[in-house]
Amino acid sequence: MIKRPFMTARVFLITAAIVSVASWAVVAAGGAQEGEQMMTSAGVFTVEQADRGKEAYTQDCAACHLDDLLGDGIAPPLLGVPFSFRWSDLSLGDMYAAIRTTMPQGAPASLPPRGYVDIIAYLLHANEYPSGDSELPTDESALQQIIVDEKP
Ligand code: HEC
């Protein structure tokens, strides 16, 4: 009983030390440390990237999914509830793999990786996720660490 407050303080101090080292490491790595999960609501793309993605989308995707992203009845909508329903809790790595291996329909994997990632930035922007200071990476293992969550 006498020792307990001492132990509690010690555990607290150790925890505080670990937390401060961990948060320092995140800051040092620019928020995208290897093995560190991020959420799409934290702002994981830039507006410039989404703008480039919009151009690529208009050129390579809009023929079927339409300029308003609502789809044509065969190609599904990429906006709103269907978007959340399909991608919530999955990673952008999952999204990247699914799109790259199947789209554009009839010519999968025909865009450079940067093109697909820019289009994902555009889809996030159109779905009202906030932009941030750094672009989405093209590295698939980094994309696996970014999880689609609820918009803030
Ligand atoms: C020729 C028409 C066509 C074009 C062009 C096209 N799509 Fe599709 N897309 C479809 C159809 C049809 C489906 C539904 C069947 C399927 O999933 O293969 C679909 C499905 C999808 C899905 C849902 C896949 C899933 O796993 O849920 C996404 C996301 C998508 N397309 C994104 C894109 C993007 C991004 C582009 C441009 C790079 C694109 N599509 C170009 C016709 C097209």
pLDDT confidence band for 29 (50 / 70 / 90): very low
- Residue 38 CB neighbour total at 10 angstroms: 20
23-37, 66-80, 129-143: least confidently modelled range: 23-37
pLDDT confidence band for 30 (50 / 70 / 90): very low
- Residue 72 CB neighbour total at 10 angstroms: 11
Q: Let me know if domain 38-147 sits in CATH 1.10.760.10.
A: yes
List all residues whose CB is within 6 A of at least one atom of ligand 1: 60-61, 63-65, 74-76, 78, 86, 98-99, 102-106, 111, 119
**Ligand 1: distance of its center to the CA of 144 in Å?**
21
The model's pTM is: 0.82
- Residue 139 CB neighbour total at 10 angstroms: 13
Is the pLDDT at 94 greater than 70? The verdict is: yes
Q: Which residue has the tokens 């620019």?
A: 30
**Ligand 1: distance of its center to the CA of 147 in Å?**
21
Domain coordinates in residue numbering, the chain: 1-36, 38-147
Provide CB contacts within 8 A for 44, sequence distance 6+.
38, 92, 124, 129, 132, 134, 136, 146
Is the pLDDT at 27 greater than 50? The verdict is: no
Q: Which tokens in the block code for residue 6? A: 């001492």
**Ligand 1: distance of its center to the CA of 85 in Å?**
16
